[in-house]
Copies of this chain bind each other. A is one copy, B any other.
Amino acid sequence: MLELAILGLLQESPMHGYELRKELATKLGAIRAAISYGTLYPTLRRLQAAGWITEAGESAPTAEEVPPLTSRRGRVVYKITAEGKERFAELLAQAGPETFDDPGFGVHFAFFSRTDRATRLRILEGRRRRVEERREGLRDVLGRAAERLDAYTLELQRHGLDACEREVRWLEELIANERSGRSPRTGDSATGHPPPEESPGRPS
């Protein structure tokens, strides 16, 4: 999940842990608050062990000149490897998880500018299916088990149902935009665009 995110960010430029966490927070701010160090550092080690990333000694190029008494622990800069790029592409291509709550969809979406249109559509439709399923489940409960539940629980279900309906509409709009070859966020604030651009900006 954040294996994908780390690989994606390191694809743009080499970084050290602290920096990575900050970039992660702005890139995925809509998905999760901020990645914990208790997650980040073990994951970095795991990725390094798998060969997807390597340490790129940046500061202090002459290692011996550092006074050994203080056991100076400088920043560790990581960069992605060729195998890491392959792995990233592989993770990008495969569909998100089957569960609703999993933030995997959001991470995938955040890297959509690096994904081909067919995969984008597949992932968007998969997400829509899962949200629709949850929506139906909530409607069932509100319809059939309403009298067994108290006012607060019902209110919670209504709010959840509302969020589901809203997300489905959002996804519908995105899917429609994909199908007609537009970038996201075209078609509301201005309704008479000529075909604006092909596939949103490729950075790096």
Contact = CB atoms under 8 A, between A and B. Distances in A.
Contacts of A141: 26, 29
A29 B157 contact: yes
A185 B158 contact: yes
Given A112-B152, A113-B150, A29 B200 contact: no
A196 B194 CA distance: 55
B184 A26 contact: no
Contact of A201 (B112, B151, B200, B201): B151
Interface stretch (A50-58, A67-75, A77-85, A99-107): A99-107
Interface in A118-156: 134, 137-138, 141, 145, 149-156
Contacts of A113: 150-153
Q: Work out how many copies of this chain go into the complex.
A: 2
A203 B150 contact: yes
A29 B146 CA distance: 13
Contacts of A32: 101
Contacts of A157: 29-30
A172 B162 CA distance: 16
Contacts of A30: 138, 156-157, 159-161
B100 A152 contact: no
B156 A99 contact: no
A141 B112 CA distance: 19
A163 interface: yes
A174 interface: yes
Nearest to A152: B112
A169 to B, nearest CB: 11
Nearest to A106: B156
A186 to B, nearest CB: 9
A26 B145 contact: yes
A152 B200 contact: yes
Interface of A: 26-27, 29-33, 99-101, 106, 109-113, 134, 137-138, 141, 145, 149-163, 166-167, 170, 174, 183-185, 200-201, 203
